[in-house]
Amino acid sequence: MLKANKFFLRQQQKQNSDQLEKLNREMALKLIMLASETGDIEPLIEAVIALRSTEELYNLNSAPIDNAKIQKKLGDVLFSVGKNEVNMRALEHAIIAYRGAITIASLVGAEGLRAEVREKYKLALKYTGQDGGAASLSLKGAA
């Protein structure tokens, strides 16, 4: 009886985790749409946070490659905004998004995606001076 109850609880936890991950992905996609309509980067940053919030629930069998692709695209947009508008907050969240994409790509064995994102991650680190060198952008007056 105890084993059956434990199994049931594990199944229920897995279902709840899967549902939470899907809801966060849907919310991230809606935030991306909002950002494209408003031109504001704040929804993009919120989308990064939403996707990263469920990462601890992933395992080898449940990490959705779609989340890695979404995080890569979020990183690309935030990196572009950060670089072009000298926006440190956008660059920092691009790094977070890239890190999330690398984690998921590693979990699922998507080596091509992982390698591509790692290059962009390194470039974002360079622009913020987090690669051990000086920042490539002048961040004076950056918001």
**Interval 19-72: pLDDT, tens:** 887 888 888 889 888 888 888 999 999 999 888 877 766 655 666 788 899 999
What are the tens digits of pLDDT across the range 10-19? 888 878 877 8
pLDDT band at 141 (very low <50, low <70, confident <90, very high): very low
User: Considering the chain, what percentage of its residues have pLDDT values greater than 70?
Assistant: 86
Q: Is residue 77 part of a domain?
A: yes
Q: Is residue 48 part of a domain?
A: yes
Structural domains counted in the chain: 1
Contacts of 103 (CB under 8 A, 6+ apart): 55, 58
Q: Is residue 7 part of a domain?
A: no
The larger pLDDT score, comparing residue 39 to residue 117, is at 117
Q: Is residue 78 part of a domain?
A: yes
Amino acid code (one letter) for 99: R
Q: Are 131 and 98 in contact (CB under 8 A)?
A: no
Residue 64 has φ and ψ, to the nearest 5°, of: -80, 120
pLDDT band at 139 (very low <50, low <70, confident <90, very high): very low
- Rounded Cα distance, 20 and 103, in Å: 19
Q: Is residue 4 part of a domain?
A: no
Which of 27-41, 69-83, 117-131 comes out lowest in average pLDDT?
27-41
Tell me the whole-structure pTM to 2 decimals.
0.77
What is the domain extent for residue 74? Answer: 12-128
Q: What is the pLDDT of residue 101?
A: 94
pLDDT of residue 89 exceeding 50: yes
